[in-house]
Amino acid sequence: MTIFYAFCAAAIMACALHMVLSRNLMRTLLGLALLSTGVNLAMFTAGGFSSDLPPIIEDGAQSLGVSADPLAQALILTAIVIGFALTLVLAAIVLRAWRATRSIDARAIDTLDQPEPAAAEAEPPHG
């Protein structure tokens, strides 16, 4: 079962990398969200499947018995929250880029930084 989850995580991350390398900003955004999911699945797989029992210390016990790894679960929960926040911030950036250019192509954003030739010649020299 571990091999199956490892292959699934690799396939998800490969699809995410393909989407991130696109010039379409929405594909890039969804690719980063998918990459976050793939990393979470890889961490879940690395945590191991030692038991189905929750990581709870029984009353009167001094240590945790055979149970799922609580560290992997805590890391995955934290990564889910961070990935969601990253997706929201990037969605706001994509929305702002779309409002400025009316395009979600990354090449259209490069034209915003370049001054127009006619406007540069019309300005008086500073001195």
Average pLDDT, the chain: 86
pLDDT of residue 119: 54
| Largest distance between two CA atoms of the chain | 83
Tell whether pTM > 0.85. Answer: no
Half-sphere exposure of 102 (CA within 13 A, CB side): 0
Q: Is pLDDT above 60 for 120? A: no
pLDDT of residue 34: 96
Which tops the pLDDT comparison, 54 or 100?
100
pLDDT of residue 125: 64
What confidence tier does 49 reach under pLDDT thresholds 50, 70, 90?
Answer: confident
Strands (E), the chain: none
Number of Cβ atoms within 10 Å of the Cβ of 19: 19
Residue 87 backbone dihedrals phi, psi, to 5 degrees: -65, -40
Q: Does the domain formed by 2-50+69-106 have CATH 1.10.287.3510?
A: yes
pLDDT of residue 17: 97
What confidence tier does 54 reach under pLDDT thresholds 50, 70, 90?
Answer: confident
Domain parsing of the chain, residue ranges:
2-50+69-106
Which tops the pLDDT comparison, 117 or 76?
76
